Amino acid sequence: MKAKWLLALLLFFLLPLQPLLAGDLIEGVAHDEALQLGEQMYRTGILPSGKPMRAMVMGDIPVDGRMFTCDDCHQRSGLGSEEGTVITWPTTGKELFTPRRRTGAFRPVASAAEKVDGRRTLPQYYQVEDVRPAYTDKTLARALRTGVDPASRRLDPIMPKFHLSKSNMALLVYYLKHLSVTLAPGVDETTLQFATVITDDVPDGKTSAMLSVLQAHIDAHNSQSRHEERRATAGPFYKSERHRAYRRVQLHIWELQGPGETWRDQLESYYEQQPVFALLGGITGGSWEEIHRFTEEHQIPSLFPITDLPAISEADWYTLYFSKGSYQEGESTAKFIRAQLGKIDTLRITQVYRQNNRQSAAIARGFEQTWRKMGGAAVEDLALQQHSAVTERLWSELFKAHNPEVVLLWLDNTERNAFNTLSRQQALRPAMLFTSAPLLRHDFSILPDELHHNLLITYPYSLPHKEERSRFAVKRWLKARNIPLTHFDIQAKMYFLGWMLPGALKNLRSEFFREYFLEGFDMMIDQDYAIAVYPRLTFGPGQRYASKGCYIVKLTQGPNPEVVPVSDWVTY
């Protein structure tokens, strides 16, 4: 009887505390809401009230919190960054609320399990004092307000000193406690799970070209050529963190069937069966938009899918593209015309494209949106129906009705007749015409010699005479692995992804967080060797399109015309 009374009394006192013990409440705010508000402050510099945070930098310079958001320096993952000589330390709960050890003291005392395995503790001269003790809620709030850490050291003056109320400070501290704490799905003690997405509108030859190169890179990673798993249990202490993070990689193939509106359910089913850490490569003959939305909502990194129709967004974060695809050609054309002609507010421009051709329509959209942002005059669109013929009469009526100074011909390699009839309109056609090399599939033989003089071509790749070194490297790699050279552009793109992947995985150390994985690409140096398709690939924090421009070229005269650049790389 006495035991039952004690149990009832214990439950009486513990049950009201259960939400607090479980971390469900912070200052009267539910757990999920507290994290959302803290994340808003951390990433955007906006207080729960909707007003910007206020802070001081360099001692006496007032700043708006939106100018110096926490993740600008400490990154979305909270795991810090390097910029020149400035090292920004991690702000995750695991790092803040444990003592910071000095460089070289990664593992000052071996665990019992390591002793059994024969690993030694560090020598005594490495058993150094901590740089600072662990933060508490109180000392972290003091550091954010005054720039003084728990060891009474002053932080770098560039670190903002925030003016936050007690409740807002509690929300921010609560968020930092939970930042990058739970490892991402798709990773265990031995394996990283990845997937690649293939849609059924891609010919088998292109699918095989993509998969063969991607799988060869993964096989190389798993081959233990450098005895990675053995190194994870031995080797010098100062490399322990990187070596112990080694995981084998398993690639799953997610094949999507049918129309795009059915893809989401298929993706959800695949992900439910096997959660993955990230998507690698992938290929579609159409738009990547549906897959893009899936990865954004599930916060799954997606690296370098092969598509001419990526999602165009300035805010989305989880997909890295080689470029903006067809849209980018329109952007670069608008920038080139403004640089060449200047009078954008009065310039008469007509775009001609097929409504049913998604690449053609994407170029037109890229041009029109960019032109409008720059303050250009309204663009006249001629959106051709699927089977409508392009005749000399159509061109004649177009030129007489609109008298365009520039005509943009976003027509593909099936439109030989359109270019032939245009070539016979010498008296009426404008002096500046544009078309697209990718739309023509680089088959310039369909362009009559009469157009070569005033026809400019968007060329969003490396120029033929400048890619020999990189092409040779890719071809040699393919030959060494007995992979037949079939679709070089696809194979070269997957070669680049495979080139970058090992370093990105190694840089994770033991921090298997998706945001940290992507931040490794944000900080990568410019790449101009391992990529044979583009002249240069580069990212910066938050940038999601690696190739940022396009050449504008002309053709020489004769039966075998050559490409001649008339501009440097036009960047958007």
Q: How far apart are CA 124 and CA 446, in angstroms?
A: 76
476 in the same domain as 417: no
Banded pLDDT at 236 (limits 50, 70, 90): low
pLDDT computed for residue 110 by the predictor: 47
- Decide if pLDDT at 104 tops 50: no
Residue 6 within any structural domain of the chain: no
429 in the same domain as 490: no
238 in the same domain as 172: no
Would you give the DSSP letter of residue 209?
Answer: H
Q: How far apart are CA 379 and CA 157, in angstroms?
A: 50
Highest mean pLDDT among 63-72, 83-92, 314-323 belongs to 314-323
Q: Residues 308, 363: contact at Cβ < 8 Å?
A: no
- Decide if pLDDT at 21 tops 50: no
- Decide if pLDDT at 29 tops 70: yes
Q: 490: which 2 tokens?
A: 């696809």
Q: How far apart are CA 531 and CA 542, in angstroms?
A: 21
Q: How far apart are CA 433 and CA 440, in angstroms?
A: 15
What is the average per-residue pLDDT within 428-450? 94
Q: Residues 277, 194: contact at Cβ < 8 Å?
A: yes
The three-state secondary structure class of 42 is helix
Return mean pLDDT, the chain: 87
164 in the same domain as 56: yes
- Decide if pLDDT at 113 tops 60: no
pLDDT computed for residue 235 by the predictor: 57
Banded pLDDT at 250 (limits 50, 70, 90): very high
Q: How far apart are CA 449 and CA 455, in angstroms?
A: 10
Q: Which domain CATH number covers 347? A: 3.40.50.2300
Q: 335: buried, middle or exposed (CB in 10 Å: 19+, 13-18, 0-12)?
A: buried
Q: Residues 193, 186: contact at Cβ < 8 Å?
A: yes
CB contact set of 256 (below 8 Å; sequence gap of 6+): 197, 198, 199, 200, 262, 263, 266, 267, 291
452 in the same domain as 481: no
Residue 209 within any structural domain of the chain: yes
- Decide if pLDDT at 20 tops 60: no
pLDDT computed for residue 277 by the predictor: 98
523 in the same domain as 434: no
Q: Report how many domains make up the chain.
A: 3
What is the average per-residue pLDDT within 376-390? 92
Banded pLDDT at 98 (limits 50, 70, 90): confident
The pTM of the whole model exceeds 0.85: yes
Q: Residues 441, 461: contact at Cβ < 8 Å?
A: no
- Decide if pLDDT at 116 tops 50: no
Residue 4 within any structural domain of the chain: no
**DSSP labels, 233-296:** TSS-GGGHHHHTT--EEEEEEEEE-S-GGGHHHHHHHHHHHS--SEEE--B-SSB-HHHHHHHH
Residue 115 within any structural domain of the chain: no
Residue 238 within any structural domain of the chain: yes
Q: Which domain CATH number covers 51? A: 1.10.760
Query: Which residue has tokens 């009201």?
Result: 16
The kind and range of the H/E element at 477 are helix 468-480
490 in the same domain as 410: no
- Decide if pLDDT at 175 tops 70: yes
Residue 122 within any structural domain of the chain: no
Between helix 392-402 and helix 416-423 the angle, nearest 10°, is 60
Query: Which residue has tokens 């544009």?
Result: 434
Q: How far apart are CA 353 and CA 365, in angstroms?
A: 10
Q: What is the pLDDT of residues 309-328, one digit of tens each?
A: 999 998 999 999 999 999 99
330 in the same domain as 318: no
Q: How far apart are CA 373 and CA 353, in angstroms?
A: 21
The three-state secondary structure class of 112 is helix
Q: Which domain holds residue 58?
A: 23-98+134-178
Q: How far apart are CA 159 and CA 350, in angstroms?
A: 51
pLDDT computed for residue 345 by the predictor: 92
- Count the Cβ atoms, other than its own, within 10 Å of residue 362: 24
pLDDT computed for residue 8 by the predictor: 40
pLDDT computed for residue 37 by the predictor: 95
**DSSP labels, 128-165:** PPPSBPPP-HHHHHHHHHHSB-TTSPBPPTTS-EEE--
Q: Which residue has the higher pLDDT, 278 or 241?
A: 278
- Letter for the amino acid at 354? R
Banded pLDDT at 542 (limits 50, 70, 90): confident
Residue 298 Rama label (left phi>0; alpha psi -120 to 50; beta): alpha
Q: Residues 416, 440: contact at Cβ < 8 Å?
A: no
What is the average per-residue pLDDT within 79-95? 84
- Indicate the residue among 116, 143, 178 that finishes a domain: 178
What is the average per-residue pLDDT within 471-490? 95
Q: 325: which 2 tokens?
A: 């695809």
pLDDT computed for residue 280 by the predictor: 98
556 in the same domain as 521: no
489 in the same domain as 412: no
Residue 172 within any structural domain of the chain: yes
What is the average per-residue pLDDT within 458-479? 89
The 3-class SS string of 393-449 reads: HHHHHHHHHHCCCEEEEECCCCCHHHHHHHHCCCCCCCCEEEEECCCCCCCHHHCCH
509 in the same domain as 487: yes
Q: Which residue has the higher pLDDT, 243 or 177?
A: 177
- Count the Cβ atoms, other than its own, within 10 Å of residue 413: 14
Q: 394: which 2 tokens?
A: 């159509």
Three-point CA angle 325, 206, 212, nearest 5°: 110
Residue 282 Rama label (left phi>0; alpha psi -120 to 50; beta): left
The 3-class SS string of 161-191 reads: EEECCHHHHHHHHHHHHHCCCCCCCCECCCE
Q: How far apart are CA 337 and CA 352, in angstroms?
A: 17
Q: Which residue has the higher pLDDT, 131 or 63?
A: 63
pLDDT computed for residue 11 by the predictor: 37
Strand partners, 486: none
Q: How far apart are CA 446 and CA 422, in angstroms?
A: 12
pLDDT computed for residue 503 by the predictor: 87
Choice among 5-14, 128-137, 293-302, 354-363 with the minimum mean pLDDT:
5-14
Q: Residues 205, 488: contact at Cβ < 8 Å?
A: no
- Count the Cβ atoms, other than its own, within 10 Å of residue 125: 7
What is the average per-residue pLDDT within 430-439? 95
Q: 63: which 2 tokens?
A: 């700043």
Percentage of the chain modeled with pLDDT above 90: 65
Strand partners, 277: none
557 in the same domain as 442: yes
Query: Which residue has tokens 């036009």?
Result: 570
Banded pLDDT at 428 (limits 50, 70, 90): confident
Residue 435 within any structural domain of the chain: yes
Banded pLDDT at 466 (limits 50, 70, 90): confident
Q: Rounded to 5 degrees, what are φ and ψ at 372?
A: -65, -40
Q: How far apart are CA 197 and CA 195, in angstroms?
A: 7
Banded pLDDT at 24 (limits 50, 70, 90): very low
Q: How far apart are CA 363 and CA 332, in angstroms?
A: 10
